[in-house]
Chain A
Amino acid sequence: MPELRTEPLVVNFGPQHPSTHGVFRMRVVLDGERVVDVEMVMGYLHRSMEKLAEERTYTQNIPFTDRMDYLSAMTGNLAYCLAVEKLAGIEVPERAQYLRVIFSELQRIANHCMAIGIFLNDCGAWQTPVMWMFRDREKILDLFEMTCGARLTTNYMRIGGVSFDLPDEFMPRANALVQELPDRISEYESLLLENEILQARARDVGVLSPELAIASSVSGPILRSTGVAWDIRKADPYCVYDRMEFDIPVGYRGDNYDRFLVRMEEMRQSVRILRQALEQLPPGPFKTDIPLALRPPVGETYARVESPKGELGFYLVSDGGPTPYRFHVRPPSLLNITALKEMTVGLTVSDLVITLGSTDIVLGEVDR
Protein backbone atom coordinates (compact mmCIF):
# COMPACT_ATOMS: atom_id res chain seq x y z
CA MET A 1 0.00 0.00 0.00
CA PRO A 2 1.53 3.36 -1.00
CA GLU A 3 2.21 5.75 1.85
CA LEU A 4 -0.31 8.55 2.21
CA ARG A 5 1.34 11.90 1.57
CA THR A 6 0.15 14.81 3.69
CA GLU A 7 0.94 18.49 3.57
CA PRO A 8 1.45 20.76 6.55
CA LEU A 9 -1.53 23.01 7.19
CA VAL A 10 -1.18 26.59 8.40
CA VAL A 11 -3.90 27.73 10.79
CA ASN A 12 -4.32 31.24 12.09
CA PHE A 13 -5.33 30.81 15.69
CA GLY A 14 -6.87 34.08 16.85
CA PRO A 15 -6.69 37.04 17.27
CA GLN A 16 -10.43 36.89 17.89
CA HIS A 17 -10.76 33.57 19.64
CA PRO A 18 -11.96 33.06 23.23
CA SER A 19 -9.17 30.67 24.15
CA THR A 20 -6.37 33.11 23.31
CA HIS A 21 -7.43 35.17 26.37
CA GLY A 22 -7.38 38.42 24.48
CA VAL A 23 -6.22 39.52 21.08
CA PHE A 24 -3.31 37.15 20.61
CA ARG A 25 -2.63 35.32 17.38
CA MET A 26 -0.71 32.10 16.87
CA ARG A 27 0.26 31.10 13.38
CA VAL A 28 0.27 27.34 13.86
CA VAL A 29 1.70 24.86 11.37
CA LEU A 30 -0.09 21.54 11.75
CA ASP A 31 0.74 18.06 10.58
CA GLY A 32 -2.64 16.43 10.95
CA GLU A 33 -3.56 17.15 14.55
CA ARG A 34 0.04 17.72 15.73
CA VAL A 35 1.65 21.12 16.11
CA VAL A 36 4.85 21.47 14.09
CA ASP A 37 5.57 25.16 14.50
CA VAL A 38 4.10 28.10 16.42
CA GLU A 39 4.69 31.70 15.55
CA MET A 40 3.39 34.31 17.97
CA VAL A 41 1.84 37.45 16.53
CA MET A 42 0.95 40.19 18.96
CA GLY A 43 0.52 43.92 19.21
CA TYR A 44 -3.22 44.18 18.65
CA LEU A 45 -3.56 45.89 22.02
CA HIS A 46 -0.41 48.00 21.78
CA ARG A 47 -1.11 51.43 23.24
CA SER A 48 2.48 52.64 23.41
CA MET A 49 2.33 53.30 27.12
CA GLU A 50 6.09 53.62 27.41
CA LYS A 51 6.01 56.58 25.02
CA LEU A 52 2.92 58.17 26.54
CA ALA A 53 4.48 57.94 29.99
CA GLU A 54 7.43 60.06 28.88
CA GLU A 55 5.12 63.06 28.50
CA ARG A 56 3.28 62.74 31.79
CA THR A 57 4.31 63.40 35.37
CA TYR A 58 5.28 60.55 37.64
CA THR A 59 1.91 60.62 39.42
CA GLN A 60 -0.08 60.82 36.20
CA ASN A 61 1.51 57.57 35.05
CA ILE A 62 -0.01 55.47 37.84
CA PRO A 63 -3.30 54.77 35.98
CA PHE A 64 -1.34 53.33 33.05
CA THR A 65 -0.04 50.61 35.33
CA ASP A 66 -3.63 49.45 36.06
CA ARG A 67 -4.32 48.99 32.42
CA MET A 68 -1.37 46.77 31.71
CA ASP A 69 -2.27 43.71 33.73
CA TYR A 70 -5.90 44.60 34.26
CA LEU A 71 -6.53 41.43 36.27
CA SER A 72 -4.02 42.45 38.91
CA ALA A 73 -3.98 46.22 38.94
CA MET A 74 -2.80 46.52 42.55
CA THR A 75 0.56 44.86 41.94
CA GLY A 76 1.05 46.95 38.82
CA ASN A 77 0.49 50.13 40.84
CA LEU A 78 2.78 48.87 43.56
CA ALA A 79 5.71 48.02 41.27
CA TYR A 80 5.64 51.44 39.66
CA CYS A 81 5.31 53.32 42.95
CA LEU A 82 8.21 51.33 44.43
CA ALA A 83 10.36 52.27 41.45
CA VAL A 84 9.59 55.99 41.77
CA GLU A 85 10.14 55.87 45.53
CA LYS A 86 13.49 54.16 45.02
CA LEU A 87 14.45 56.76 42.43
CA ALA A 88 13.43 59.75 44.53
CA GLY A 89 14.34 58.30 47.94
CA ILE A 90 10.86 58.60 49.47
CA GLU A 91 10.08 56.88 52.74
CA VAL A 92 6.71 55.14 53.01
CA PRO A 93 4.83 55.04 56.36
CA GLU A 94 4.50 51.64 57.97
CA ARG A 95 0.72 51.51 57.75
CA ALA A 96 0.87 52.14 54.01
CA GLN A 97 3.36 49.30 53.62
CA TYR A 98 0.99 46.92 55.38
CA LEU A 99 -1.94 48.14 53.28
CA ARG A 100 0.12 47.48 50.16
CA VAL A 101 0.83 43.94 51.27
CA ILE A 102 -2.84 43.34 52.12
CA PHE A 103 -4.06 44.56 48.76
CA SER A 104 -1.33 42.76 46.82
CA GLU A 105 -2.27 39.46 48.41
CA LEU A 106 -6.00 40.03 47.91
CA GLN A 107 -5.18 40.76 44.29
CA ARG A 108 -3.13 37.59 44.02
CA ILE A 109 -6.06 35.48 45.21
CA ALA A 110 -8.43 37.27 42.82
CA ASN A 111 -6.02 36.77 39.93
CA HIS A 112 -5.45 33.09 40.67
CA CYS A 113 -9.22 32.52 40.93
CA MET A 114 -9.46 33.89 37.44
CA ALA A 115 -6.38 32.03 36.16
CA ILE A 116 -7.47 28.64 37.51
CA GLY A 117 -11.10 29.10 36.53
CA ILE A 118 -10.31 30.07 32.96
CA PHE A 119 -7.69 27.33 32.68
CA LEU A 120 -10.34 24.78 33.63
CA ASN A 121 -12.67 26.41 31.17
CA ASP A 122 -10.10 25.72 28.47
CA CYS A 123 -9.83 22.13 29.70
CA GLY A 124 -13.53 21.66 29.10
CA ALA A 125 -15.04 22.20 32.55
CA TRP A 126 -17.34 24.69 30.96
CA GLN A 127 -18.09 27.68 33.22
CA THR A 128 -18.80 25.84 36.49
CA PRO A 129 -15.35 26.29 38.13
CA VAL A 130 -15.18 29.85 36.82
CA MET A 131 -18.47 30.76 38.40
CA TRP A 132 -17.48 29.14 41.68
CA MET A 133 -14.22 30.98 41.79
CA PHE A 134 -15.82 34.25 40.78
CA ARG A 135 -17.85 34.00 43.95
CA ASP A 136 -14.64 34.57 45.94
CA ARG A 137 -13.16 37.00 43.48
CA GLU A 138 -16.33 39.06 43.72
CA LYS A 139 -15.91 39.46 47.47
CA ILE A 140 -12.34 40.65 46.99
CA LEU A 141 -13.44 43.15 44.35
CA ASP A 142 -16.09 44.38 46.79
CA LEU A 143 -13.30 45.08 49.28
CA PHE A 144 -11.44 47.05 46.60
CA GLU A 145 -14.56 48.98 45.75
CA MET A 146 -15.29 50.02 49.31
CA THR A 147 -11.69 51.16 49.77
CA CYS A 148 -10.90 53.02 46.57
CA GLY A 149 -14.13 53.10 44.57
CA ALA A 150 -12.92 50.94 41.71
CA ARG A 151 -13.07 47.20 41.21
CA LEU A 152 -10.72 46.48 38.35
CA THR A 153 -8.54 49.46 37.45
CA THR A 154 -8.00 50.45 41.03
CA ASN A 155 -5.41 53.25 40.78
CA TYR A 156 -5.02 52.80 44.53
CA MET A 157 -1.32 53.10 45.31
CA ARG A 158 0.33 56.49 45.38
CA ILE A 159 3.94 57.54 45.39
CA GLY A 160 4.71 57.61 49.10
CA GLY A 161 1.71 55.59 50.29
CA VAL A 162 -1.82 54.71 49.25
CA SER A 163 -4.69 56.96 48.21
CA PHE A 164 -7.30 56.10 50.87
CA ASP A 165 -7.27 54.60 54.32
CA LEU A 166 -9.47 51.62 55.07
CA PRO A 167 -13.19 52.34 55.60
CA ASP A 168 -14.77 51.14 58.86
CA GLU A 169 -16.58 48.21 57.29
CA PHE A 170 -13.39 46.84 55.71
CA MET A 171 -11.92 44.95 58.65
CA PRO A 172 -14.97 42.82 59.56
CA ARG A 173 -15.54 41.91 55.90
CA ALA A 174 -11.86 41.13 55.28
CA ASN A 175 -11.56 39.02 58.42
CA ALA A 176 -14.69 37.08 57.48
CA LEU A 177 -13.27 36.47 54.02
CA VAL A 178 -9.94 35.27 55.41
CA GLN A 179 -11.86 32.92 57.70
CA GLU A 180 -13.86 31.32 54.93
CA LEU A 181 -11.28 31.22 52.12
CA PRO A 182 -9.35 28.13 53.32
CA ASP A 183 -12.59 26.14 53.34
CA ARG A 184 -13.40 27.36 49.87
CA ILE A 185 -9.96 26.39 48.60
CA SER A 186 -10.34 22.94 50.17
CA GLU A 187 -13.66 22.65 48.38
CA TYR A 188 -12.06 23.43 45.03
CA GLU A 189 -9.25 21.02 45.73
CA SER A 190 -11.62 18.19 46.59
CA LEU A 191 -13.51 18.87 43.37
CA LEU A 192 -10.62 19.37 41.01
CA LEU A 193 -7.34 17.95 42.24
CA GLU A 194 -8.05 14.30 41.55
CA ASN A 195 -10.47 14.88 38.73
CA GLU A 196 -9.69 12.26 36.14
CA ILE A 197 -10.38 14.47 33.14
CA LEU A 198 -8.15 17.23 34.42
CA GLN A 199 -5.37 14.73 35.14
CA ALA A 200 -5.71 13.26 31.67
CA ARG A 201 -5.71 16.66 29.99
CA ALA A 202 -3.03 18.44 32.00
CA ARG A 203 -0.52 15.89 33.29
CA ASP A 204 2.74 15.85 31.28
CA VAL A 205 1.37 18.34 28.77
CA GLY A 206 3.26 21.53 27.98
CA VAL A 207 6.35 20.50 29.92
CA LEU A 208 9.00 23.15 30.55
CA SER A 209 12.42 22.17 31.88
CA PRO A 210 13.96 24.29 34.67
CA GLU A 211 17.05 25.03 32.54
CA LEU A 212 14.98 26.40 29.66
CA ALA A 213 12.71 28.27 32.07
CA ILE A 214 15.69 30.08 33.62
CA ALA A 215 17.40 30.80 30.30
CA SER A 216 14.20 32.22 28.81
CA SER A 217 13.40 34.64 31.69
CA VAL A 218 10.28 32.79 32.78
CA SER A 219 9.07 33.85 36.23
CA GLY A 220 6.23 33.42 38.67
CA PRO A 221 4.14 30.26 39.07
CA ILE A 222 5.44 28.88 35.77
CA LEU A 223 9.06 29.04 36.95
CA ARG A 224 8.11 27.59 40.33
CA SER A 225 6.21 24.73 38.72
CA THR A 226 9.50 23.54 37.20
CA GLY A 227 11.01 23.19 40.68
CA VAL A 228 12.89 26.50 40.99
CA ALA A 229 11.95 28.06 44.32
CA TRP A 230 12.25 31.68 43.20
CA ASP A 231 9.89 34.24 44.63
CA ILE A 232 10.74 37.96 44.76
CA ARG A 233 8.80 38.26 48.02
CA LYS A 234 11.41 36.00 49.63
CA ALA A 235 14.47 36.67 47.48
CA ASP A 236 14.24 40.47 47.36
CA PRO A 237 11.60 41.43 49.94
CA TYR A 238 9.78 44.73 49.48
CA CYS A 239 7.26 46.47 51.77
CA VAL A 240 6.96 44.27 54.88
CA TYR A 241 7.16 40.83 53.29
CA ASP A 242 10.27 40.08 55.34
CA ARG A 243 8.06 40.09 58.46
CA MET A 244 5.57 37.62 57.02
CA GLU A 245 5.77 33.89 57.39
CA PHE A 246 4.90 31.92 54.28
CA ASP A 247 6.19 29.14 52.06
CA ILE A 248 7.00 29.07 48.37
CA PRO A 249 5.05 26.27 46.70
CA VAL A 250 7.01 24.50 43.96
CA GLY A 251 6.16 21.78 41.50
CA TYR A 252 8.59 19.35 39.99
CA ARG A 253 7.33 18.35 36.55
CA GLY A 254 6.81 21.76 34.98
CA ASP A 255 3.63 20.66 33.24
CA ASN A 256 0.19 22.24 33.09
CA TYR A 257 -1.04 20.32 36.09
CA ASP A 258 1.83 21.53 38.28
CA ARG A 259 1.17 25.13 37.28
CA PHE A 260 -2.41 24.65 38.39
CA LEU A 261 -1.26 23.09 41.68
CA VAL A 262 1.23 25.88 42.38
CA ARG A 263 -1.46 28.53 41.88
CA MET A 264 -3.84 26.64 44.14
CA GLU A 265 -1.25 26.45 46.92
CA GLU A 266 -0.25 30.08 46.43
CA MET A 267 -3.81 31.08 47.26
CA ARG A 268 -3.45 29.29 50.59
CA GLN A 269 -0.15 31.04 51.28
CA SER A 270 -1.72 34.39 50.41
CA VAL A 271 -4.42 33.74 52.99
CA ARG A 272 -1.67 33.05 55.50
CA ILE A 273 0.03 36.36 54.70
CA LEU A 274 -3.30 38.19 54.84
CA ARG A 275 -4.02 36.82 58.32
CA GLN A 276 -0.70 38.09 59.63
CA ALA A 277 -0.92 41.44 57.86
CA LEU A 278 -4.47 42.15 59.02
CA GLU A 279 -3.48 41.28 62.56
CA GLN A 280 -0.29 43.37 62.60
CA LEU A 281 -1.72 46.40 60.75
CA PRO A 282 -0.42 49.39 62.74
CA PRO A 283 -2.20 52.75 63.13
CA GLY A 284 -0.65 55.90 61.73
CA PRO A 285 -0.45 57.90 58.53
CA PHE A 286 -1.14 56.10 55.25
CA LYS A 287 0.69 58.43 52.91
CA THR A 288 3.42 61.04 52.78
CA ASP A 289 3.07 64.33 51.01
CA ILE A 290 5.02 64.66 47.82
CA PRO A 291 5.11 67.62 45.42
CA LEU A 292 2.48 67.67 42.69
CA ALA A 293 5.12 67.55 39.99
CA LEU A 294 7.74 65.32 41.57
CA ARG A 295 11.29 65.82 40.26
CA PRO A 296 13.50 62.87 41.19
CA PRO A 297 17.26 63.42 40.97
CA VAL A 298 19.12 62.41 37.81
CA GLY A 299 19.60 58.67 37.81
CA GLU A 300 18.03 55.38 36.98
CA THR A 301 16.55 52.50 38.88
CA TYR A 302 14.98 49.09 38.54
CA ALA A 303 12.36 47.95 41.06
CA ARG A 304 10.36 44.78 40.95
CA VAL A 305 7.57 42.93 42.69
CA GLU A 306 6.23 39.41 42.57
CA SER A 307 3.02 40.01 40.69
CA PRO A 308 0.59 37.08 40.37
CA LYS A 309 1.98 36.50 36.87
CA GLY A 310 5.65 36.68 37.79
CA GLU A 311 8.37 39.28 38.11
CA LEU A 312 6.95 42.68 37.25
CA GLY A 313 9.69 45.28 37.08
CA PHE A 314 9.93 48.94 36.21
CA TYR A 315 13.08 50.51 34.84
CA LEU A 316 12.95 54.29 35.18
CA VAL A 317 15.46 56.86 33.99
CA SER A 318 15.17 60.40 35.31
CA ASP A 319 16.83 63.46 33.80
CA GLY A 320 15.84 65.58 36.78
CA GLY A 321 12.64 66.82 35.13
CA PRO A 322 9.02 66.29 36.15
CA THR A 323 8.46 63.50 33.60
CA PRO A 324 10.39 60.23 33.28
CA TYR A 325 13.07 60.25 30.60
CA ARG A 326 12.55 56.53 30.04
CA PHE A 327 9.79 54.35 31.41
CA HIS A 328 10.26 50.66 30.73
CA VAL A 329 8.18 47.76 31.95
CA ARG A 330 9.48 44.25 32.35
CA PRO A 331 6.23 42.43 31.64
CA PRO A 332 5.96 38.90 33.07
CA SER A 333 3.17 37.89 30.67
CA LEU A 334 5.31 38.64 27.62
CA LEU A 335 8.46 36.91 28.87
CA ASN A 336 6.56 33.88 30.16
CA ILE A 337 5.57 32.97 26.62
CA THR A 338 9.12 33.26 25.26
CA ALA A 339 9.37 29.47 25.36
CA LEU A 340 5.81 28.84 24.15
CA LYS A 341 7.03 27.18 20.97
CA GLU A 342 9.29 24.80 22.87
CA MET A 343 6.42 23.95 25.22
CA THR A 344 3.87 23.23 22.53
CA VAL A 345 5.59 21.68 19.51
CA GLY A 346 4.46 18.07 19.24
CA LEU A 347 1.21 18.59 21.12
CA THR A 348 -2.26 18.44 19.63
CA VAL A 349 -4.26 21.59 18.93
CA SER A 350 -6.47 21.07 21.97
CA ASP A 351 -3.39 20.81 24.21
CA LEU A 352 -1.95 23.95 22.65
CA VAL A 353 -5.04 25.79 23.87
CA ILE A 354 -4.69 24.67 27.48
CA THR A 355 -0.93 25.23 27.51
CA LEU A 356 -1.44 28.83 26.48
CA GLY A 357 -4.18 29.10 29.11
CA SER A 358 -1.92 27.70 31.82
CA THR A 359 0.64 30.48 31.29
CA ASP A 360 -2.04 32.93 32.54
CA ILE A 361 -1.46 35.36 29.70
CA VAL A 362 -2.94 38.86 29.83
CA LEU A 363 -2.68 40.73 26.57
CA GLY A 364 -2.85 44.16 28.15
CA GLU A 365 0.52 43.43 29.67
CA VAL A 366 2.00 41.63 26.67
CA ASP A 367 1.32 44.51 24.29
CA ARG A 368 1.16 47.49 26.66
Chain B
Amino acid sequence: MTKLIPGAETAARIRAAIPDAELEEAADWVVVDAPHLVALATFLRDDEYFDCRYPTAITGVDRLDHFEVVYHLSSLQRNHMVILKTRALDHEAPELPSVVPVWYGAHLQEREIYDLMGIRFSGHPSLKRIFLWEGFAGHPLRKDFLTLPSGHKPGLAHFPKE
Protein backbone atom coordinates (compact mmCIF):
# COMPACT_ATOMS: atom_id res chain seq x y z
CA MET B 1 0.00 0.00 0.00
CA THR B 2 1.12 3.51 -0.73
CA LYS B 3 1.86 5.22 2.56
CA LEU B 4 0.42 8.69 3.00
CA ILE B 5 2.90 10.66 5.09
CA PRO B 6 0.96 12.47 7.85
CA GLY B 7 0.96 16.26 7.80
CA ALA B 8 2.66 16.54 11.19
CA GLU B 9 5.61 14.44 10.09
CA THR B 10 6.02 16.33 6.81
CA ALA B 11 5.84 19.66 8.63
CA ALA B 12 8.42 18.62 11.21
CA ARG B 13 10.89 17.56 8.55
CA ILE B 14 10.33 20.69 6.49
CA ARG B 15 10.80 22.95 9.53
CA ALA B 16 14.14 21.33 10.21
CA ALA B 17 15.31 22.02 6.65
CA ILE B 18 13.65 25.35 5.77
CA PRO B 19 13.13 27.14 9.09
CA ASP B 20 11.52 30.33 7.75
CA ALA B 21 8.72 28.67 5.73
CA GLU B 22 5.28 29.42 7.12
CA LEU B 23 3.49 26.13 7.49
CA GLU B 24 0.07 25.06 8.55
CA GLU B 25 -0.45 21.39 9.19
CA ALA B 26 -3.53 19.20 8.99
CA ALA B 27 -3.95 15.45 9.48
CA ASP B 28 -3.03 14.53 5.91
CA TRP B 29 -1.47 17.59 4.35
CA VAL B 30 0.68 20.66 4.84
CA VAL B 31 -0.24 24.16 3.69
CA VAL B 32 2.70 26.31 2.67
CA ASP B 33 2.77 30.05 1.94
CA ALA B 34 3.22 30.96 -1.73
CA PRO B 35 6.67 32.64 -1.52
CA HIS B 36 8.28 29.46 -0.19
CA LEU B 37 6.51 27.10 -2.58
CA VAL B 38 9.30 26.57 -5.10
CA ALA B 39 12.00 26.18 -2.44
CA LEU B 40 9.85 23.66 -0.64
CA ALA B 41 8.99 21.77 -3.83
CA THR B 42 12.69 21.53 -4.67
CA PHE B 43 13.38 20.28 -1.16
CA LEU B 44 10.66 17.60 -1.39
CA ARG B 45 12.01 16.46 -4.74
CA ASP B 46 15.68 16.30 -3.76
CA ASP B 47 15.45 15.22 -0.13
CA GLU B 48 16.53 11.66 0.42
CA TYR B 49 13.62 10.84 2.70
CA PHE B 50 10.80 12.42 0.67
CA ASP B 51 12.22 11.70 -2.82
CA CYS B 52 9.05 13.15 -4.43
CA ARG B 53 10.23 13.04 -8.00
CA TYR B 54 6.84 12.08 -9.39
CA PRO B 55 4.14 14.79 -9.39
CA THR B 56 1.02 12.63 -9.35
CA ALA B 57 -1.74 15.21 -9.58
CA ILE B 58 -1.98 18.98 -9.31
CA THR B 59 -5.30 20.74 -9.10
CA GLY B 60 -7.06 23.81 -7.81
CA VAL B 61 -10.10 24.33 -5.61
CA ASP B 62 -12.16 27.51 -5.42
CA ARG B 63 -12.71 28.20 -1.72
CA LEU B 64 -14.87 31.31 -2.40
CA ASP B 65 -12.58 33.84 -0.68
CA HIS B 66 -9.31 32.32 -1.89
CA PHE B 67 -7.99 29.59 -4.17
CA GLU B 68 -6.26 26.48 -3.00
CA VAL B 69 -3.85 24.51 -5.16
CA VAL B 70 -3.30 20.88 -4.14
CA TYR B 71 -0.16 18.95 -5.07
CA HIS B 72 -0.22 15.17 -4.72
CA LEU B 73 3.44 14.19 -4.85
CA SER B 74 4.80 10.66 -4.90
CA SER B 75 7.98 8.75 -4.62
CA LEU B 76 7.86 5.67 -6.82
CA GLN B 77 10.90 4.19 -5.15
CA ARG B 78 9.70 4.55 -1.57
CA ASN B 79 6.03 4.16 -2.50
CA HIS B 80 4.69 7.03 -0.44
CA MET B 81 2.70 10.18 -1.08
CA VAL B 82 2.84 13.71 0.30
CA ILE B 83 -0.03 16.18 -0.06
CA LEU B 84 1.07 19.78 -0.25
CA LYS B 85 -1.27 22.72 -0.50
CA THR B 86 -0.82 26.38 -1.12
CA ARG B 87 -3.19 29.32 -1.24
CA ALA B 88 -3.69 32.18 -3.67
CA LEU B 89 -5.30 34.75 -1.40
CA ASP B 90 -6.32 37.34 -4.01
CA HIS B 91 -9.59 35.99 -5.40
CA GLU B 92 -9.81 38.58 -8.18
CA ALA B 93 -6.35 38.06 -9.69
CA PRO B 94 -4.84 34.94 -8.10
CA GLU B 95 -1.19 34.34 -8.79
CA LEU B 96 1.23 31.65 -7.62
CA PRO B 97 4.79 30.66 -8.53
CA SER B 98 5.04 27.88 -11.09
CA VAL B 99 6.60 24.53 -10.18
CA VAL B 100 7.40 23.60 -13.78
CA PRO B 101 11.15 24.15 -13.17
CA VAL B 102 10.90 21.54 -10.41
CA TRP B 103 8.63 19.01 -12.13
CA TYR B 104 8.11 19.05 -15.87
CA GLY B 105 4.87 17.14 -15.32
CA ALA B 106 3.28 20.28 -13.91
CA HIS B 107 3.37 21.85 -17.37
CA LEU B 108 -0.02 20.78 -18.71
CA GLN B 109 -1.63 20.59 -15.25
CA GLU B 110 -0.84 24.23 -14.47
CA ARG B 111 -2.08 25.27 -17.89
CA GLU B 112 -5.32 23.45 -17.13
CA ILE B 113 -5.71 25.19 -13.78
CA TYR B 114 -5.01 28.54 -15.42
CA ASP B 115 -7.55 27.89 -18.15
CA LEU B 116 -10.40 26.60 -16.02
CA MET B 117 -9.78 28.39 -12.73
CA GLY B 118 -7.85 31.48 -13.71
CA ILE B 119 -4.84 31.16 -11.42
CA ARG B 120 -1.76 32.67 -13.07
CA PHE B 121 1.46 30.74 -12.54
CA SER B 122 4.40 33.13 -12.76
CA GLY B 123 7.45 31.55 -14.32
CA HIS B 124 5.50 29.03 -16.41
CA PRO B 125 7.21 28.65 -19.82
CA SER B 126 4.05 28.94 -21.91
CA LEU B 127 1.01 29.84 -19.86
CA LYS B 128 -1.75 29.66 -22.45
CA ARG B 129 -5.30 28.39 -22.29
CA ILE B 130 -5.36 24.67 -22.93
CA PHE B 131 -8.97 23.65 -23.62
CA LEU B 132 -10.80 26.93 -24.20
CA TRP B 133 -9.80 29.51 -26.76
CA GLU B 134 -7.93 32.73 -26.01
CA GLY B 135 -10.55 35.38 -25.35
CA PHE B 136 -13.09 33.09 -23.68
CA ALA B 137 -14.83 35.16 -21.04
CA GLY B 138 -14.23 33.91 -17.51
CA HIS B 139 -12.95 30.70 -16.02
CA PRO B 140 -15.64 27.99 -15.80
CA LEU B 141 -14.50 26.15 -12.68
CA ARG B 142 -14.84 29.25 -10.51
CA LYS B 143 -17.87 29.02 -8.29
CA ASP B 144 -19.21 32.39 -9.47
CA PHE B 145 -19.12 31.42 -13.16
CA LEU B 146 -22.65 31.36 -14.59
CA THR B 147 -24.65 30.15 -11.61
CA LEU B 148 -28.29 29.36 -12.20
CA PRO B 149 -30.92 31.57 -10.53
CA SER B 150 -31.60 30.80 -6.86
CA GLY B 151 -28.83 28.22 -6.73
CA HIS B 152 -30.89 25.70 -8.68
CA LYS B 153 -29.03 22.44 -9.27
CA PRO B 154 -30.45 20.47 -12.22
CA GLY B 155 -29.20 17.15 -10.95
CA LEU B 156 -31.11 17.44 -7.68
CA ALA B 157 -34.44 18.35 -9.28
CA HIS B 158 -35.15 14.64 -9.76
CA PHE B 159 -35.08 13.98 -6.03
CA PRO B 160 -37.57 16.40 -4.46
CA LYS B 161 -37.79 14.33 -1.29
CA GLU B 162 -34.09 13.96 -0.64
Contact = CB atoms under 8 A, between A and B. Distances in A.
Interface string A319-344: 00011011010100011011100000
B153 A55 contact: yes
A215 interface: yes
Contact of A334 (B76, B108, B155): B108
Contacts of A325: 61
B162 A367 contact: no
Nearest to A341: B107
Contacts of B61: 317, 325-326
A212 B107 CA distance: 13
A323 B153 contact: yes
Contact of B70 (A51, A56, A315): A315
Contacts of B83: 302
Contact of A56 (B72, B76, B155): B155
Interface string A39-67: 00011001010110001110010000000
A214 B54 CA distance: 5
B57 A212 contact: no
Interface residues of A, number: 43
A313 interface: yes
Contacts, number: 105
A217 B130 contact: no
Interface string A51-92: 100011100100000000000000000000000000000000
B141 interface: yes
Contacts of B104: 212, 215-216, 338-339
A315 B72 CA distance: 10
A235 B79 contact: yes
Interface string A292-329: 11000000101010000001010101000011011010
Interface string A273-309: 0000000000000000001110000001010100000
Nearest to A337: B108
Interface string B26-56: 0000000000000000000000000001111
A324 B64 CA distance: 15
Contacts of B72: 302, 313, 315, 330
Given A51-B141, A215-B53, A46 B155 contact: no
Contacts of B106: 217
Contacts of A214: 53-54, 76
B108 A322 contact: no
A237 B57 contact: no
B137 interface: no
Given A43-B130, A215-B53, A338-B105, A50 B2 contact: no
Given A57-B155, A293-B162, A330-B56, 9 more contacts: A212-B104, A214-B53, A215-B53, A236-B79, A293-B156, A302-B83, A322-B156, A322-B159, A338-B108
The 5 A-B pairs at the shortest CB distance, nearest first, are namely A217-B105, A56-B155, A43-B131, A293-B162, A236-B2
11 contacts: A43-B131, A55-B155, A215-B105, A217-B55, A236-B79, A302-B57, A302-B72, A322-B162, A325-B61, A330-B56, A337-B108
